[in-house]
């Protein structure tokens, strides 16, 4: 049967339309820049992009040979990520002795997130990293690894600290049974993480960081770029766990903060989150803080005038050494006072463990969607010693389905 010219033209047109539709709607291994993970501003819920915008990792087959047996096999290797990326990195402050606990943490991050996006990893240490540390960590990280030595002036006493007074304070805190009350190096670490780590030259290339510590674990797939999420949704600080601080470690921290606010009222954000850290409009500190062993944050915030002045004010007060001020309350108070409250975000779908607390979404749909392996019965989020329920309440955010079944 012969086809007339009109039918031929129609068939050609339909074929072109089908090919174009396939190209437009079927994902080809990369992330579409047209769609991002977004937040519903009314209830705080997260909306994921359509299928065509989700990461679908490309792979290649590579020939391999077992060095012992000589047997040949095919390796499946992920292709380099070619989508748009942020200027972001992972940051870990660690020592050589932390190696194997850190390798487990890196593997968890890579398996659940970074093998898709291949972000860099910056390792910092107050001593030189040895070759074994560099060789093994770089073998696991899919992005570039960088190793930095903390400057001596950032891991020692400032000139204005009375070291005899500091030693006497450590002894008293030890006698009082304060956790890490005896430790000098712990205080150096807290001061460094509070206001100095982002000044290391290796951090100059980045706008965002994700802090990772040894022995942590992640339990859910993270199939969206969290750094791009932060920028697209105008977030500057994100957390998974919040908790109350030990009062014995920070007896004068709030008084010092109140003095700072009185002297620098112009730096306090008009839409701050004071009601997260105080039950009486700033008269006292309720001890709530974000657990900073996990945090994803804007480095521009820490480099800015407001945070710089706040950290320098705390530093001059001496509480990092005369008491045992931690980076978690320092960061949390600053974030709550100096940021717009809308710029702070809780990642319910990032399931996380740092001894002894778990974050595991109690919402079944979230866990199934993200292939989570954690037990919601272990989740700390809605327990009585957690501050995350307060965060949801004061920001009028909708809690996940079933949260009340896990109240502690």
Residue count of the chain: 408
Torsion of CA 139, 140, 146, 151, to 10 degrees: -110
Q: Distance between alpha carbon 31 and the CA centroid of its chain, in Å?
A: 22
The helices-and-strands tally (H runs, E runs) of the chain is 15, 16
Distance CA 388, CA 368 (A): 22
Q: For residues 120 and 146, is the Cβ–Cβ distance under 8 A?
A: yes
* Rounded (5°) CA angle 118-121-127: 160
Distance CA 163, CA 108 (A): 41
The DSSP-derived string for 113-174 is IIHHH--EEEEEESSPPPHHHHHHHHHH-SS-EEEEEPPGGGSS--TTS-HHHHHHHHHHHH
Closest CA to 238 of 160, 381, 344: 344
Q: Provide the annotated active-site residues.
A: 295
Per-residue CA distances from 387 to 24, 185, 275, 282, 332 (Å): 45, 28, 11, 17, 12
Phi, psi dihedrals of residue 257, rounded to the nearest 5°: -65, -40
CB atoms within 10 A of CB 231: 17
């Amino acid at each position: 049967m012969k086809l007339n010219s009109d039918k031929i033209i129609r068939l050609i047109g339909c074929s072109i339309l089908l090919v174009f539709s396939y190209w437009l709607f079927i994902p080809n291994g990369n992330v579409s820049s047209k769609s991002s993970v977004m937040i519903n501003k009314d209830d705080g819920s997260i909306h994921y992009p359509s299928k065509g915008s989700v990461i679908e990792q490309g792979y290649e087959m590579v020939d391999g040979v077992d060095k012992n047996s000589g047997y040949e096999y095919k390796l499946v290797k992920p292709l380099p990520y070619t989508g748009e990326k942020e200027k972001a990195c992972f940051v870990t402050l660690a020592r050589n002795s932390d190696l194997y606990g850190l390798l487990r943490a890196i593997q968890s991050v890579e398996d659940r997130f970074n093998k898709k996006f291949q972000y860099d990893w910056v390792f910092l240490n107050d001593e030189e990293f040895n070759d074994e540390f560099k060789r093994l960590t770089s073998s696991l990280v899919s992005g570039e690894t960088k190793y930095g030595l903390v400057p001596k002036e950032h891991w020692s006493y400032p000139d204005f600290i009375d070291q005899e007074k500091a030693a006497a304070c450590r002894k008293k805190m030890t006698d009082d049974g304060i956790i890490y009350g005896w430790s000098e190096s712990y205080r150096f670490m807290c001061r460094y993480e509070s206001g100095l780590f982002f000044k290391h030259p290796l951090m100059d290339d980045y706008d965002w960081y994700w802090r990772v510590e040894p022995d942590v674990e992640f339990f859910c797939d993270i199939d969206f770029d969290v750094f791009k999420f932060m920028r697209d949704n105008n977030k500057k600080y994100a957390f998974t766990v919040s908790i109350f601080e030990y009062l014995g470690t920070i007896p004068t921290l709030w008084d010092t903060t109140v003095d700072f606010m009185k002297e620098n009222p112009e730096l306090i954000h008009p839409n701050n989150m004071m009601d997260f850290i105080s039950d009486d409009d700033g008269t006292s500190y309720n001890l709530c803080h974000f657990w900073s062993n996990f945090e994803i944050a804007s480095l521009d915030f820490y480099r800015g005038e407001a945070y710089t002045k706040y950290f320098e004010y705390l530093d001059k007060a001496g509480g990092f050494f005369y008491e045992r001020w931690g980076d978690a309350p320092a960061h949390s108070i600053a974030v709550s006072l100096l940021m717009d409250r809308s710029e702070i975000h809780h990642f319910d779908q990032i399931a996380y463990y740092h001894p002894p607390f778990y974050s595991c979404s109690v919402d079944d749909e979230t866990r199934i969607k993200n292939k989570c392996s954690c037990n919601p019965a272990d989740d700390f989020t809605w327990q009585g010693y957690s501050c995350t329920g307060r965060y949801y309440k004061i920001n009028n955010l909708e809690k996940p389905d079933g949260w009340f079944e896990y109240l502690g």
